[in-house]
Amino acid sequence: LVKLMGARRVIEFGTFTGYSALSMALAGATRITCADVSKEWTDIGRKYWSKAGVADRIDLRLDGGNAVIERLLNNGEAGTVDLSFIDADKTGYDAYYEGSLKLLCPGGLILVDNVLWGGDVADPTKSGADTDAIRAINAKIVNDSRVEICMVPICDGLMMARKL
């Protein structure tokens, strides 16, 4: 998708071992801001970003997604991001979605991972903080007039929302 849409500026919520950030950099993204909280897991990514020669394009922040959103907005970066990938703490999805909408340029794309959550979101007998948060963000996005959406049932479900 990064290559297809010519995305240059990307924000990623939830970096884990850095695979998606690496893939986006190799696909042509020139500035990727990664928000995570784990030095242990992201250090794995840093190693491979360096090996691939893309570490200079990736700005890893370990103070979490909300702090990254606030910092970018305070730096005047509203409306400058092409793509947002949300795959972090599920209870934070709503805040990351709202922050992404502020940071995205018109036509920018938000990718929300794990929206099927193993089918639990469709089962009313299932609940829990993560399940309830994903169920809520799915309902919100489906009814959000600020975006056009498409959900693809690959892996654990990927919601794509294009900012109008």
pLDDT tens profile 44-59:
999 999 999 999 999 9
Tens digit of each residue's pLDDT (9 = 90 or more) over 10-46: 999 999 999 999 999 999 999 999 999 999 999 999 9
Task: Quote the pTM value.
Answer: 0.96
Note the pLDDT of residue 63: 97
Which residue, chain included where needed, has tokens 């794990």? 114
Q: Which DSSP string corresponds to 36-66?
A: -S-HHHHHHHHHHHHHHT-GGGEEEE-S-HH
64: phi then psi, degrees, rounded to nearest 5: 90, 160
Note the pLDDT of residue 48: 98
Q: How many whole angstroms separate alpha carbon 79 and alpha carbon 103?
A: 5
Note the pLDDT of residue 98: 98
Q: How many whole angstroms separate alpha carbon 106 and alpha carbon 155?
A: 28
Largest CA distance in the chain: 48
Stretch 74-97: mean pLDDT, rounded?
98
Tens digit of each residue's pLDDT (9 = 90 or more) over 116-154: 999 999 999 999 999 999 999 999 999 999 999 999 999
Angstrom CA distances, 81 to 10, 69, 91, stand at: 6, 11, 23
Note the pLDDT of residue 56: 98
| 59 residue type, one letter | D
Q: How many whole angstroms separate alpha carbon 54 and alpha carbon 23?
A: 10
